[in-house]
Amino acid sequence: MTDSPLLIEDRGAVRVITVNRPDKLNALNAATLDALAAAFADAGADPSVRAVVLTGSGPKAFVAGADIAEMNGLTPVQGRDFSQRGQRMMRRVEKLPKPVIAMINGFALGGGLELAMCCHLRVAADTAKVGQPEINLGLIPGFGGTQRLLRLAGRAATLELCLVGAPIDAARAHALGIVNRVVPAAELETETLKLAEQLAAAAPLALRGMIDCINVGGEVGLEEGLEYESAQFGLVFSTADMREGTAAFLERRKPAFSGE
C-alpha cells in the first residue's frame, strides 16, 4: 500500500523492513506500531525469510522516538494502552524465531532505542546517537526501555541514560554493550547485510533454538536455564540440518542447510 509507513524488500533470504516516515524522523505512532507487528508476523511465517534487517528511512534517523504529537492528548488509560501496544509489538520482534538485526543509521532515541533493543543484534553507524530522553518530556520509557536497557547495559548505565536523558554516541553505546558493532556510516548497509546473509545461511532451527534459550535464560535461574538448554540441544538431534552440519564438518565441506 502506498500509504504504508513501512517499506519492505526481500534481498534473497533477508527481509529488509524500513520505517518510512522521514518527515517525522520515523517516529512511532499507533499505525506504525501496528504495521510493524504485521510485518514481523509475516516475516516469521514466511519460510523463504531466514533473517530480518530493520532500519529507518532518510539520512537522519533510525527512529527518533514515539510520535509526541499523537501522545500529547492521551488520557492515562490511553497512555497505558499505547505503551502496551508498543510492548506487544517489540516482544513479537524479540521472540521471532529468526534473527533480527537493527541497522541504526542515525538517531535511535526513546521508542527508537527501545525498538532497536528488542532486535537480536544491533549494528550502528559511527555517526549514530542513542538514548532515552523521556525525562525531558516529563515521561518515562514506555516500550520496555527501562527493562531491556537494564539487561543490556546494567544498572548504572541505565540509571544514567534514563535519569539524565542525554544521548550518547555509537562508540559509548558499544562500550556499554547496547550495540554489537559500530561501522563507518558509508559502510553500514554493506556490513549489516553481510551479517544478515551470514545468519540467513546458518541452520534455521539451530538459530531458533539459540534465540529461545537466550530469551528464556535471561528471565529464569541458572538451573532452569540449563535444563531448557539441554532440552533444546536434544531437539536439534532430530533435524536434518544437524546431520548435514556434522557430516559437512567431517567431510571438510561447506554445509547446505535446508531448515528441516
pLDDT tens, 47-73? Answer: 999 999 999 999 899 999 998 989 988
pLDDT at 3: 81
Catalytic site residue from 70, 94, 134, 191 = 134
pTM over 0.85: yes
Reading the block at residue 209, the C-alpha cell is 533454538
Catalytic site residue from 94, 114, 160, 191 = 114
pLDDT at 1: 45
What is the arithmetic mean of pLDDT over 4-24?
96
State the pLDDT confidence band at 2, using cuts at 50, 70 and 90. low
Rg of the chain, C-alpha, whole Å: 19
The phi, psi pair for 132, rounded to 5°, reads -120, 85
pLDDT tens, 218-253? Answer: 999 999 999 999 999 999 999 999 999 999 999 999
- Residue ranges of domains in the chain, CATH in brackets: 6-200 (3.90.226.10), 204-250 (1.10.12)
Burial of residue 247 (CB within 10 Å: 0-12, 13-18, 19+) is exposed
Burial of residue 250 (CB within 10 Å: 0-12, 13-18, 19+) is exposed
Q: Is 114 a catalytic residue?
A: yes
Q: Is 134 a catalytic residue?
A: yes
